[in-house]
Homo-oligomer: A and B are copies of this chain.
Amino acid sequence: MAPAQGRATDGQWGWCNKMALIVQKFGGTSVGSVDRIRQVAEKVKGFRQRGDDIVVVVSAMSGETNRLIDLAKQIQAEPDARELDVIVSTGEQVTIGLLAMALKAIDVPAVSYTGAQVRIVTDSAFNKARIQKIDDDAIRADLSAGKVVIVAGFQGVDEQGNITTLGRGGSDTTGVALAAALKADECQIYTDVDGVYTTDPRVVESARRLDKITFEEMLEMASLGSKVLQIRSVEFAGKYNVPLRVLHSFKEGPGTLITLEDNASMEQPVISGIAFNRDEAKLTIRGVPDTPGVAFKILGPVSAANIEVDMIVQNVSHDNTTDFTFTVHRNDLRKTEDILRKVASEIGAREVGGDNRIAKVSIVGVGMRSHAGVASKMFEALSRDGINIQMISTSEIKISVVIDEKYLELAVRSLHSAFELDADADADADASGSDHL
């Protein structure tokens, strides 16, 4: 990375012994008003003055994307996919211009680019496009010239020059993809939380901010309902090994760094966090004749109806029949029951039951790979509090259980304590309030 022009001769930066290329992504609420855009500009200026090269990715001002989609839906109930992207992509385009102005107003050289101007090339899947390549020439030239580069998140352009968008939350993906293309030292995602927690602090008061978490853990946490980051951006960051940091937009603090598994760290905790989800409903089809292909006969029609299935459990059969249980989103419960009743009569199953008063609780941690007994410790903690487990499902770094919804908070607190995640169990962990670089 070439130093910015004039930087070497500028005495006030002489003390700086570290210069990094950082991609910073600010979401809709962080740029939701003129005042907040000014605050973001001040924050960026601080990094610049320390000598860092900064690329900023921004979302549309909060509410703007919804306003534009509403407008489109007034014209066409099912908006044309290509034209919808033409319309909604203007939200970020306004923000990049405003932030560039806010930086220039405080004497920071800056330039804005739409996705098409950078040439963030995507496929042509309008409304949910995937990034294929990024042309970073212009950005590198501007950084070398000492400018802050501001890029519209969430959008790109296909090979034919059509405007595309990456789908909701796509600005995170833009940030990570740019960081990967530029081989940035870090991609910082500014949010309304100050980091990733061991679990939801609203449920467990002693929940603790994690200094570090692995990509895999973050993926499990994110997909299980910790909505700090968009899953796709975490996958992307993991794939290209882009260090990702979650920070609060307007509070100081080190946030949480998401990186590859750190083998050097011997004291890897067994469990990093506890995720939970109360948006699901459970369906059971009982007395299913246990013949090959029966799982497909049950789930085929569900999937054909565009209903997403999460956990699936089928236990060993007895008397040549088995019970088949799975979970779907609560909103899909009635629809799925209707489908299952038809299926049940076709395959000769005994009965269909649905229950939306359930919750899923998961413990996540790369440490459980090498530690035996994690599952039994989990089940023991739950049984100690009289919580019955209805379903169990496991992956390499995660164990999920479905329980009665009413026990959710109790289960989370009980597991948080059993796996020694409470803040007082590790007093050092959250001590540092200083900046992280």
Contact = CB atoms under 8 A, between A and B. Distances in A.
Interface of A: 34, 37-38, 68, 71-72, 74-76, 79-80, 82-84, 86-87, 89-90, 93-94, 96-98, 100-102, 104-105, 111-112, 114, 116-117, 161-163
Nearest to A98: B75
Q: Count identical subunits in the complex.
A: 2
A72 B99 CA distance: 10
Given A96-B86, A101-B80, A112-B86, A117 B75 contact: no
Contact of A76 (B90, B102, B116): B102
Contact of A101 (B72, B114, B117): B72
Given A34-B74, A80-B100, A94-B68, A86 B114 contact: yes
A138 to B, nearest CB: 8
Given A94-B71, A98-B71, A105 B87 contact: no
8 contacts: A75-B98, A76-B101, A82-B111, A86-B100, A87-B93, A87-B97, A90-B94, A117-B161
Contacts of A74: 34
A232 B90 CA distance: 28
Residue among A68, A75, A90, A100 with the highest chain B CB neighbour number at 10 A:
A75
A83 B71 contact: no
Contacts of A161: 117
A116 B86 CA distance: 12
Residue picked from A37, A101, A104, most chain B C-beta under 10 Å: A101
Nearest to A116: B116
A104 B87 contact: no
Contact of A104 (B71, B80, B90, B104): B80
A366 to B, nearest CB: 44
B112 A75 contact: no
Contacts of A163: 114, 117
A98 B80 CA distance: 9
Contacts of A102: 75-76
A104 B84 contact: no
Contacts of A112: 83, 86
Given A71-B98, A83-B112, A87-B94, 19 more contacts: A34-B71, A34-B74, A34-B75, A37-B75, A68-B94, A76-B105, A80-B104, A82-B111, A83-B98, A83-B100, A84-B101, A86-B96, A86-B112, A87-B93, A87-B97, A89-B93, A90-B90, A117-B162, A117-B163
Given A90-B90, A116-B116, A117-B161, A97 B84 contact: yes
Given A86-B93, A94-B90, A97-B83, A105 B75 contact: yes
A123 to B, nearest CB: 18
Nearest to A157: B117
